[in-house]
Amino acid sequence: MNIQSLLSEKVSQALIAAGASADSEAQVRQSAKAQFGDYQANGVMSVAKKLGMPPRQLAEKVVELLDLNGIANKVEIAGPGFINIFLDPAFVGAHVDSALNDEKLGITPVEPQTIVIDYSAPNVAKEMHVGHIRSTIIGDAAVRTNEFLGHKVIRANHVGDWGTQFGMLIAYLEKVQNENAGDMNLADLEEFYRAAKKNYDEDEAFAERARGYVVKLQGGDEYCLQMWRKLVDVTMKQNQLTYNRLNVTLTEDDVMGESLYNNMLPGIVSDLQAKGLAVDSEGAVVVYLDEYKNKDGDPMGVIIRKKDGGYLYTTTDIACAKYRYETLGADRVLYYIDSRQHQHLMQAWTIARKAGYVPDSVALEHHMFGMMLGKDGKPFKTRSGGTVKLSDLLDEAIDRARKLITEKNPEMKDAAELEKLVNAVGIGAIKYADLSKSRTTDYVFDWDNMLAFEGNTAPYMQYAYTRVASIFKRAEIDVNSLTQPVVLSEEREAALATRLLQFEEVLTVVAREGTPHTMCAYLYDVAGLFSSFYEHCPILNAEDETSRNSRLKLALLTQRTLKTGLDTLGIETVERM
Ligand code: ARG
């Protein structure tokens, strides 16, 4: 049920009947304050201006023509021409019932789109670090949300698995294997990469070998490919452990690394040359873009092939956009990459569009995010200034959660249950802290805030969920016994019920904008409305059977909405904490 769409349609019809053009927007929004009703239509003012009509007069006409029978029980005009709509509790109650009768909580089936989501994208022979955490967590929430709505989602893990660094990595892997008689220790990828680099910088014979391997690898040499594959496999196995720990839905099947686009690159370059988009410049191939100016105010040159014949990160992203449209059949492609790569993406896409590789009907969207900062406001680093490894961060989260939970809940004895809880809270806290902030800005990583039981945090939301769930358990209520329809008689019941029916509106926003924080804010709000309802409206001791039944149903829909909502975020719930 999408009340906002329904009302938009109704108000638009009335606007058109009142003389507005067919494309007039009703501008229906959820009202910010109860006194303005549940929804507000704000479109009258701009339409009145176009029609040269006093807005209040138009508003009156619209209200007269507006047919909200069975939906609203009061419609008011406020201020210069706002239309305030008060939903009919009977309408709200009936839709609570239909939401409960549906596994997907009554959400409207979508016209399914194919949506490719580019996220996580760690680099081979490097440990995943906190810079990849935001992409992984936010991207996975976008995946889950779009999938829940019914879209076909293709996860694309654009792993950095190609480039000149592989010569040095292969040469080093060879060295390690020789020294350890085949025993390869890649456990510490960061250390492996550093050692490879050191050998490259300090040992001329090694460097020579490394350069040779780059050429051989690019030429498809079997030995080099085999070594390369080993590096990719070991890295991705390690990353997979992190994905599993993080409750992220990526699998090894979702890897679509840079190397996938390799054999497209020569064709792309010659095609761009043939189309007159790319030109030779001092031996390199360059696309000059009028849309972007360099320091001197001249069109910016984007290199797509280097003098030595090598291709670039941008060339790969041009090919990749083409592939996602042409081969994967994408209707939309969402990229979860930090904001520093914005210009890179814009350049790659501008070129792809000009070349006709991706039509305008297919959206390429950069859902960028800011940096993770330490409490000092500087980029998040270890005490000694190094990059924080994701796996270390997760270990610490678990340790802290264990301490917190055993302190709060010393009587929890079942070891398996305790582990599950510790995991859900620890990992949930890290993820939720990231998801609940607007993604476009930097955010401060703060253990105390994210593990607090108050405020918009994972532990609070998880606890709120167990509280609702416990009502049914304590009273041993069989939810199938709740057969009477919902009747809303108290204001707090109606407020909670209306908010619960707005679930789909929030899902739609998250799916469109890639903003999981709107889901977090919504669920937090639902938890708050539930608390206030629970405090004022006795459930099990309700004054009559109708109220008891209705309130139990409201609690049940709250429970399901919290669980489903947290699930779209990739946050686990537990039944007890
Ligand atoms: N591997 C890159 C990095 O670590 C991110 C890749 C993002 N995706 C893309 N299509 N460029 O910075």
Q: Which of 123, 157, 161, 316 to mutate to test the pocket of ligand 1 (most atoms within 8 A of CB)?
A: 123
Specify the DSSP class assigned to residue 374: -
Domains contained in the chain, number: 2
Measured CA to CA, the distance from residue 331 to residue 122 in angstroms comes to 25
Residue with tokens 């092939």: 305
Is 160's C-beta closer than 6 angstroms to any atom of ligand 1? Answer: yes
CA of 483 to the centre of ligand 1 (A): 52
| pLDDT(412) > 80 | no
pTM of the predicted model, to two decimals?
A: 0.95
Could you tell me which residues come within 8 angstroms of residue 21 by beta carbon, excluding any fewer than 6 positions away?
A: 50
* Mean pLDDT value of segment 161-179: 93
| pLDDT(386) > 90 | no
| pLDDT(187) > 90 | no
Q: What is the pLDDT of residue 382?
A: 82
List the structure tokens of 257. Answer: 């690394």
Q: For residue 261, give the nearest of 195, 327, 356 by alpha carbon.
A: 327
In-domain check, residue 304: no
| pLDDT tens digits, one per residue of 63-110 | 999 999 999 999 999 999 999 999 999 999 999 999 999 999 999 999
List the structure tokens of 314. Answer: 């941008």
Could you tell me which residues come within 8 angstroms of residue 542 by beta carbon, excluding any fewer than 6 positions away?
A: 548, 551
Q: For residue 2, give the nearest of 356, 503, 477, 487 by alpha carbon.
A: 503
Per residue in 555-571, is it b (16+ CB within 10 Å) or e — as a string?
bbbbbbbbbbbbebbbb
* Mean pLDDT value of segment 369-375: 90
Is 158's C-beta closer than 6 angstroms to any atom of ligand 1? Answer: yes
In-domain check, residue 473: yes
What confidence tier does 408 reach under pLDDT thresholds 50, 70, 90? confident
In-domain check, residue 341: no
Q: Which residue has the higher pLDDT, 577 or 7?
A: 7
Domain's final residue, options 87, 115, 137: 87
| pLDDT tens digits, one per residue of 508-540 | 999 999 999 999 999 999 999 999 999 999 999
Domain's final residue, options 40, 70, 87: 87
Measured CA to CA, the distance from residue 57 to residue 66 in angstroms comes to 14
Q: What is the pLDDT of residue 233?
A: 93
* Mean pLDDT value of segment 190-199: 91
Which DSSP helix (H) or strand (E) runs through 148? helix 130-149
In-domain check, residue 138: no
Q: What percent of the chain has pLDDT over 90?
A: 85
| In contact, 249 and 206? CB cutoff 8 Å | no
Is 493's C-beta closer than 6 angstroms to any atom of ligand 1? Answer: no
Measured CA to CA, the distance from residue 339 to residue 335 in angstroms comes to 11
Q: For residue 176, give the nearest of 158, 191, 155, 154 by alpha carbon.
A: 191
Is 118's C-beta closer than 6 angstroms to any atom of ligand 1? Answer: yes
Q: In whole numbers, what is the pLDDT of the chain averaged over residues? A: 94
| pLDDT(183) > 60 | no
CA of 159 to the centre of ligand 1 (A): 7
CA of 438 to the centre of ligand 1 (A): 21
Could you tell me which residues come within 8 angstroms of residue 475 by beta carbon, excluding any fewer than 6 positions away?
A: 540
Measured CA to CA, the distance from residue 350 to residue 312 in angstroms comes to 16
Specify the DSSP class assigned to residue 109: P
In-domain check, residue 348: no
Q: Residue 101 in 3-state DSSP? A: coil
Measured CA to CA, the distance from residue 359 to residue 353 in angstroms comes to 7
> Using N-to-C axis directions, what is the helix angle for 189-202 and 204-218, rounded to 10°?
110
List the structure tokens of 16. Answer: 């058109």
377: phi > 0 → left, psi -120 to 50 → alpha, else beta; which? left
Domain's final residue, options 87, 103, 122: 87
Is 144's C-beta closer than 6 angstroms to any atom of ligand 1? Answer: no
Q: Residue 31 in 3-state DSSP? A: coil
Is 157's C-beta closer than 6 angstroms to any atom of ligand 1? Answer: no
Which DSSP helix (H) or strand (E) runs through 180? none
* Mean pLDDT value of segment 330-344: 96
Strand order through the sheet with 284-293: 278-281, 284-293, 299-305
Number of H helices, E strands in the chain: 20, 13
Ligand 1 atom with minimal separation from the 317 CA: 10
CA of 566 to the centre of ligand 1 (A): 27
Q: For residue 568, give the nearest of 120, 148, 244 by alpha carbon.
A: 148
Spacing of C-alpha 429 from chain mean position: 16
| In contact, 571 and 524? CB cutoff 8 Å | no
Of 112-126, 245-259, 374-388, 465-479, the least confident: 374-388
Per residue in 336-356, is it b (16+ CB within 10 Å) or e — as a string?
bbbeeeeebbebbbbbbbebe
In-domain check, residue 494: yes
In-domain check, residue 77: yes
What confidence tier does 186 reach under pLDDT thresholds 50, 70, 90? low
CATH number of the domain residue 17 falls in: 3.30.1360.70
**Which residue range(s) make up the domain with 37?**
3-87
Measured CA to CA, the distance from residue 140 to residue 427 in angstroms comes to 14
CATH number of the domain residue 432 falls in: 1.10.730.10
Specify the DSSP class assigned to residue 490: S
| pLDDT(182) > 60 | no
How many Å from the N-terminal Cα to the C-terminal Cα in the chain?
32
Residue with tokens 């309130």: 551
Strands 152-156 and 114-118, sheet pairing: parallel
| pLDDT tens digits, one per residue of 457-495 | 999 999 999 999 999 988 888 999 999 999 999 999 999
Q: What is the pLDDT of residue 456?
A: 96
Q: Which residue has the higher pLDDT, 375 or 278?
A: 278
Ligand 1 atom with minimal separation from the 123 CA: 1
